[in-house]
Structures are given as C-alpha cells and as structure tokens.
Amino acid sequence: MEKHPLKRSITSTLMVAMLVLSPLAALCSCSFLPVEEDPPPPPILRSYEKVEYTLVEATRGEIVETVNVPCQYAPALEETLSFSIGNLPITNVYVSNGDLVSKGDILAELDSTDVDLQIEAQKVYLEKLKLELSRLIETHKANLQIETLKLESLIEKHEAAEGDEKQALVSSIERQNQAISSMIEAHELQSDIYNIRLNVAREKLDELLDMKSKRVLIAGIDGTVTHVKDVGVNSYSTEKEKFITIADKSTSVFKVSGDKASLFSVGDSVEIQIAGTYHEATVVDAHELNLERSDNITYLQLNETAFDIKENATGLISLELNRKENVVYVPSSAVKTANGQEIVYMLDEDNNRTMQKVVTGFSADGKVEIKDGLKPGDLVILE
C-alpha cells in the first residue's frame, strides 16, 4: 500500500531535524560532565629528622640551701648637725664627705657679723665694769687705811691724855668709828651695785655667745663626715635641716631588719658583700654597742674597720640554711610528674625517649636529690 504523501513529508522532516540536532546534543552533553582536575603532585620524600635532646648527668655531690639577706650600714655612734636658725647666709663650710674630724672642730658657719659686733662691744663693757670695780675696791682700801690710822692715833692720844682732854678724845674716837662704818657701808653698797651690773653684763654676753653658737656647727664626736649638704653662693640656712652627719667608723656595724633577723645568733660569723668586696663580720649583742635591743633587728660588726663605707651603704649576706652531702642529684627541671609519680626521661639503646620512675628527696639551689631510680653517671633528658 502506498504511504500517504503528508506522512512521508513529516517523516523526512523529522529525520533531517534529528541529523541537525544530534551533533548539538553531543556538544551540549559535554557541558554537564564534571571537569577533571589536574592530578596532585607526588609527595615529597624527606629523610628522617632525628630529635635532639639536651642530656645531663646524674651527679654525686652536695646540695646547699642558701638565702640572700640584705643589710644596712648602721654606725654605732652617729651625730647629725643642723642649724637652729633659718634664713641666714651660709658663709663657711670647712669639711667635705670623708673628712676626719675631732670633737670641738668648727665645721660650718652662718653669717654672724651683727652678733660678733655685739659680742665685742659687750666684752669691752664688761671689762670696763670690772676695771671700775677694781678701782673702787683699791680706793676704798686706801681710804679705809687712812681713816683707820686716824682712829689708831686718837686711841693712842686717848691713852696718854687726862681729864677733860681724855673725855674729848672719847667723842672723837666715836665719831671716827662711825665715819669708818659709814665708809664701809657705802663701799659695800657701791660694790653690790657693780656686782649686779657685772652679772647682768655677763648674762648679756652669754646670750650673745649662745646666739653665736647657733650659727656655728661644731663636731661633738671624733669621726668621719658622711654627709654634707650641697650649698652654693648666696645659700641660706634652713631651720633644723640635716646639714652635716658625722659617724664614728671605728666600729663599723650593719643591721638586718625584719623577719630574717631571726636567722642569726650572737657570735655567728658571716661574710658581707659590700660594693663587690667581701668583709668578715660577727653578730653582736645590741647592748655591746649601747643600742636598743629588738627582736626584729640583728647587728653585725665588721671584724676589720672599713673607713670607706658610705652613709647609706648596703650589704648582702649569703646565709647557709641547710646542706646535704654525698647525694645523687639532677637539675630540678629534669624531674617531671606523670600520674602522680615523679619521673625523669632517658634514652634507650635505640635513642628513643623512655620514662624512668624516681624517688626524690632534698631540693635546693636548682638541684634535687634522687634517692632511688638513678645512679651517678646516668644521663637524663633536661629538655
């Protein structure tokens, strides 16, 4: 049977369309497939890196526990001088730090021109009063001697006279005695007045000298000057300000204050490091130095005097608290803890890290005693 023409046309058209679309479908289907990535590079083969350890050797020796104790210079005898007057020019300072002075030496002065003039004037006035009193006494003695001779002459005449003449001489003798008594009373009164004036003048001079003394600093002890205030031109005094300090360094003493004072006992020998130099010292009782005893202060006297010690010098004492000898020890940092057990790490024959249990004991100064688990010469891992 012959096909219908329309059916043949449709069939032909479909075939042509399929031929056209089939390449496109092939192209489009490629876009839905996953894109293949570049293959990863092969792994880099490295040589085996060996772990390096710091090893320390277990050692037989001693462990010493020490503590560093600071101490402060404290002279047994010290004098601090200051001016009791303020706002006066400082005219002279005769000493410097480190100078040796003797008791009575003048160390510094304030301007005392006004007082010096008054002192000189008062001294002149006092000498004048003394001279006037001396002259008064000499004059009185001379006059008294004359009047006494007159009296003796009247008495001699009275003894040789008779009758009315004798009676007249009695009256003359009485008058002469009264004259002498009056002379003595007048002299005593004048002398008393002069003595009063002299006492007032002396008191005034003492006041002026006291004023002068307040403008002068005088050493009260033998010793070494440990402090002098820096002064410049036209400097003025400040009332009660520390100006000069003198220390008796014939006895060099340091003190330890606070809780660590109890670590020392009287008679102990110690070594004090002062500015890099070591000095031997002995712990002494405070009463030996005429100092007040205290539970919180210990005094240490240098066995040899050190005159170059400065006023605020400090020292350091390395004090041994405990010592254990002939023990096996390792650095404290080598000992670890695992599951409540103290251990150290060691290396086995294949250089692999292994754990070794230990029993520790006394520990100090960065060392720890190994009672069990190691023997001298064993190597342990420090890090």
Spatial separation of the C-alpha atoms in residues 324 and 64, rounded to whole Å: 6
Bigger pLDDT: 331 vs 51: 331
Spatial separation of the C-alpha atoms in residues 128 and 258, rounded to whole Å: 64
Average pLDDT for residues 144-166, to the nearest whole number?
92
Q: Is the pLDDT of residue 142 over 80?
A: yes
pLDDT of residue 42: 54
Tell me what percent of the residues of the chain surpass a pLDDT of 90: 69
Average pLDDT for residues 285-294, to the nearest whole number?
83
187-231 pLDDT, tens digit each: 999 999 999 999 999 999 999 999 999 999 999 999 889 899 999
User: Which band of pLDDT confidence, cut at 50, 70 and 90, is reported for residue 162?
Assistant: confident
Q: Is the pLDDT of residue 274 over 80?
A: yes
User: Which band of pLDDT confidence, cut at 50, 70 and 90, is reported for residue 45?
Assistant: very low
Spatial separation of the C-alpha atoms in residues 357 and 371, rounded to whole Å: 11
Spatial separation of the C-alpha atoms in residues 140 and 188, rounded to whole Å: 10
DSSP-assigned states of every residue in 339-382 = TTEEEEEEE-TTS-EEEEE-EEEEEETTEEEEEES--TT-EEE-
Spatial separation of the C-alpha atoms in residues 341 and 107, rounded to whole Å: 72
pLDDT of residue 74: 82
User: Which band of pLDDT confidence, cut at 50, 70 and 90, is reported for residue 4?
Assistant: very low
User: Which band of pLDDT confidence, cut at 50, 70 and 90, is reported for residue 10?
Assistant: very low
Query: pLDDT averaged over the chain?
Result: 86
pLDDT of residue 290: 77
Per domain, the residue ranges of the chain are 48-76+251-383, 78-111+215-247, 113-213
Q: Is the pLDDT of residue 23 over 80?
A: no
Spatial separation of the C-alpha atoms in residues 228 and 247, rounded to whole Å: 12
User: Which band of pLDDT confidence, cut at 50, 70 and 90, is reported for residue 145?
Assistant: very high
Average pLDDT for residues 34-39, to the nearest whole number?
48
Taking alpha carbons only, the member of 298, 258, 125 closest to residue 204 is 125
63-120 pLDDT, tens digit each: 999 999 999 988 778 899 999 999 999 999 999 988 999 999 999 999 999 999 999 9
pTM tops 0.85: no
pLDDT of residue 43: 52
84 backbone dihedrals φ, ψ, rounded to 5°:
-90, 0
Whether 110 and 243 have beta carbons less than 8 Å apart is answered as no
CA dihedral 236, 242, 246, 251 (to 10 degrees): -170
Residue 256: exposed, middle, or buried by beta-carbon count in 10 A (0-12, 13-18, 19+)? buried
pLDDT of residue 293: 83
Q: Is the pLDDT of residue 49 over 80?
A: no
161: CB partners within 8 A, 6+ apart: 169
Q: Is the pLDDT of residue 36 over 50?
A: no
Fold observed for domain 78-111+215-247: OB fold (Dihydrolipoamide Acetyltransferase, E2P) (2.40.50)
Average pLDDT for residues 170-184, to the nearest whole number?
95
CA angle 225, 228, 231 (to 5 degrees): 155
Fold observed for domain 48-76+251-383: 2.40.420
Whether 291 and 263 have beta carbons less than 8 Å apart is answered as no
Whether 216 and 237 have beta carbons less than 8 Å apart is answered as no
Name the token pair of 132.
Answer: 């006037």
Which uninterrupted H or E stretch holds 117? helix 113-160
Q: Is the pLDDT of residue 238 over 60?
A: yes
